[in-house]
Structure 1
Amino acid sequence: MRRFFAQRWFLFVLMTLLLGGLALCGPLAFLPRLTPKLVVIGVVMLATSLATNFGLVLRARDSWLAVGLALLVNAGVAPPLGWLIGRPLPPPLAEGLVVAMTVPCTIAAAIVWTRRGGGNDAAAALTSMISNFSCFLVLPFWTGLLMGATVDIKPRELMIKLLLGIAAPMVAGQLIRAPRRVGAWADRQKRLLSLIAQWGVLFMALLGAIEAGNAMRGSEFRPTSGHWLLLVGMIIVLHMVLLAVAAAAGWAARLGPADALAVTIAGSQKSMAVGVGVALQFGPMTIFPLITYHFAQLLIDTVVVDRHRRKTGPEQPPA
């Protein structure tokens, strides 16, 4: 029993934080307001960068192929698939599902989940960076094509956040580990650095649950229980399909397990941080498919990466 919980501690903590954040969203409403989220994301990205030798990993051809395939699934397959699967939903929820699928890859979670499963986290990190910095083109294209509406994503403000929260910490981590002794120390401390990154993502998940709970309490539109069940079911199906498509792409390209896992996770995960501002432009209800998808991907992908680690790596508690 102890070994069972040791191998799945992350999933149990994640579920506890998500449910606790939703249930206690009122008393904990101050937490998201007082938390500098950009700092938390920066710490996660710095810890991730310190533990990764990007120069070594990205010299391999398969790493770049993994990045290309992940971007293709995330930015090319996900939006029309979300539009198609969301057709039976009420218009606000259907629009929200389209928005959820047009936003870029998660900023930190894709990297942390890929590393947790023993995958190529450098490829996942590069996918996340390219996806976020190209969202100025991808978002207006898909929302205009699928919804007949353009979005205002405030490119200057978003670019500053991306530079400070993603690019700067990643570059800083590589510069810090550049001296041979520091790099060797970082490689020895990879487990500790991975734990720091995972707890950072768990904290961000708690903040997201609190904000989601308060958003639901403040919404005037009240979908029926049938609408909620249909939405949750469709989102689970949608994410599972994207996981399968991304995994099939990695298999077809004959990628190794580490690169294939990067394609699977980075190709299917979506960012709530970028998506919230976009979704709210179409009305308050459009935020809920995005939030639901975010929570679903965290829970489902935890099971996926832990299973991948047990199949491809040594039998030990994951970092």
Structure 2
Amino acid sequence: MWVALKKHWFLLALAACFSTGYFASETLQPLMAMTTLRSGIVFVVMWMMGFTLHAEAIRRSVRRPLPSLLAIGINILVVPLLCLPTQWLLPRAEFGGLYVVSLVPCTLASAAVWTRKAGGNDSIALMTTVVTNLACIVVVPVGVALVLARQADISAIEQMQKLATIVVAPLVLAQAMRYFGLAAFADRHKIRLSFLAQFGILSMVVLGSVASAGVVQQASESASRSMGITLITLALLVMAIHLAAFGIGVFSARAAGADRESQIAVGIGGSQKTLMVGLQIAIDLGVSVIPMLMYHLLQLTIDTVIAARWRAGGEESVPPEG
């Protein structure tokens, strides 16, 4: 029992934090006006995650760039295209939240870890993570302007400036600190930094759930009654999008002649999305954060199962060349 709780504490904490913020939304509502607090949390968490990234692994992937380019293309272009048809199946707020999920970059927290667990090439996952996070200052505002313009309360330029401040700047600062002599310190305290970053993410979950409660309260009574159906539909769509992106990554890498380790990395890196940035953008746009939380939970669950099967089965876990 204790082993299971220790292993899955973060997922349980996600549920607890969402419930706290949702059901205590009236009490916590003043926190939503503290935009500097939200931005500060994102900045610090992105810095802590970036501080533990090894630039050496990124340089390795540059020597063979095709798998990384495939993963980056899937993460930036394919996932949003997979998401677009869901606008005819979901209410406006939930579709907006799911589309935000599709635009945000690959997660700093787990892509390389899950790739490594599956026996894949983690340098490709790291390259995908870094490039998509840097590119998000363009990808997110452009994607929002093209599809969610009516729901966006801030301009594309404002979004670019904000993302540059809270995503790109802390990553650049973190890598500069590693370059100028603090790499050993970061590696020595990697577990502590990751642990603290997770608490930052949980605090954003509380704020996101407060925002979601406001969206739900604005819905009509009939819409509220259909929320159960909406959540089931959303969960099925999230799984379908993640698995489709994962499969496209694996088979496109195979078609390009990449080895098994690269196929795994492209599948994971191309399909995973970051919770931290997604929550911030969803809150800013006033769309539901539930899709972001659901995608994060399901991607960890699905990829854990897939990684375990790949690790256990070795070459046999990847379908044979056709």
Asked whether the equivalents of residues 246 and 264 of structure 1 are also in contact (C-alpha less than 8 Å), the reply is: yes
Matched with 1:255 is: 258
Q: CA offset at residue 270 of structure 1?
A: 1.9
Q: CA offset at residue 310 of structure 1?
A: 3.6
Matches for 1:135-146 after TM superposition, within 5 Å: 135-146=136-147
Matched with 1:317 is: none
Residues 224 and 156 (structure 1 numbering): CA distance in 2 closer, same or farther, change over 3 Å? Answer: closer
Residues 214 and 306 (structure 1 numbering): CA distance in 2 closer, same or farther, change over 3 Å? Answer: farther
Residues 174 and 248 (structure 1 numbering): CA distance in 2 closer, same or farther, change over 3 Å? Answer: farther
Asked whether the equivalents of residues 80 and 146 of structure 1 are also in contact (C-alpha less than 8 Å), the reply is: no
Residues 141 and 133 (structure 1 numbering): CA distance in 2 closer, same or farther, change over 3 Å? Answer: same
Matched with 2:320 is: none
Asked whether the equivalents of residues 80 and 102 of structure 2 are also in contact (C-alpha less than 8 Å), the reply is: yes
Q: CA offset at residue 305 of structure 1?
A: 2.9
Q: Output the CA distance in 1 between the equivalents of 2:72 and 2:171.
A: 17
Q: Output the CA distance in 1 between the equivalents of 2:179 and 2:258.
A: 26
Please state which structure has a larger fraction of its residues in helix: 2
Residues 59 and 125 (structure 1 numbering): CA distance in 2 closer, same or farther, change over 3 Å? Answer: closer
Matched with 1:289 is: 291
Q: Which letter does structure 2 place at the counterpart of 1:46?
A: F
Residue 74 (1) aligns with residue 75 (2): yes
Matched with 1:157 is: 162
Asked whether the equivalents of residues 118 and 311 of structure 2 are also in contact (C-alpha less than 8 Å), the reply is: yes
Q: Output the CA distance in 1 between the equivalents of 2:294 and 2:271.
A: 14
Q: Output the CA distance in 1 between the equivalents of 2:51 and 2:314.
A: 27
Matched with 1:298 is: 300
Q: CA offset at residue 106 of structure 1?
A: 2.4
Matched with 1:207 is: 203
Instruction: Give the TM-score, by structure 2 length.
Output: 0.74
Structure 1: runs of 5+ lacking an equivalent: 314-319
Q: Output the CA distance in 2 between the equivalents of 1:94 and 1:298.
A: 21
Matches for 1:166-245 after TM superposition, within 5 Å: 166-174=171-179, 176=181, 193=190, 195-196=191-192, 199-200=195-196, 202-219=198-215, 220=217, 221=219, 222=224, 224-245=227-248
Q: CA offset at residue 242 of structure 1?
A: 1.3
Instruction: Give the TM-score, by structure 1 length.
Output: 0.75
Q: CA offset at residue 81 of structure 1?
A: 0.8
Residues 168 and 148 (structure 1 numbering): CA distance in 2 closer, same or farther, change over 3 Å? Answer: closer
Structure 2: runs of 5+ lacking an equivalent: 316-322
2:120 partner SS: coil
Matched with 1:109 is: 110
1:67 partner SS: helix
Q: Output the CA distance in 2 between the equivalents of 1:56 and 1:133.
A: 16
Matched with 1:22 is: 18
Matched with 1:307 is: 309
Q: Output the CA distance in 1 between the equivalents of 2:272 and 2:193.
A: 17
Matched with 2:319 is: none
Count of residues in Structure 1 that have an aligned counterpart in Structure 2: 294
Q: Output the CA distance in 2 between the equivalents of 1:302 and 1:200.
A: 22
Q: Which letter does structure 2 place at the counterpart of 1:260?
A: Q
Residues 66 and 208 (structure 1 numbering): CA distance in 2 closer, same or farther, change over 3 Å? Answer: farther
Q: Output the CA distance in 2 between the equivalents of 1:21 and 1:95.
A: 22
Matches for 1:33-48 after TM superposition, within 5 Å: 36-48=41-53
Q: Which letter does structure 1 place at the counterpart of 2:173?
A: A
Q: Percent identity?
A: 24
Q: Which letter does structure 1 place at the counterpart of 2:292?
A: L
Q: Output the CA distance in 2 between the equivalents of 1:42 and 1:275.
A: 16
Q: CA offset at residue 80 of structure 1?
A: 1.4
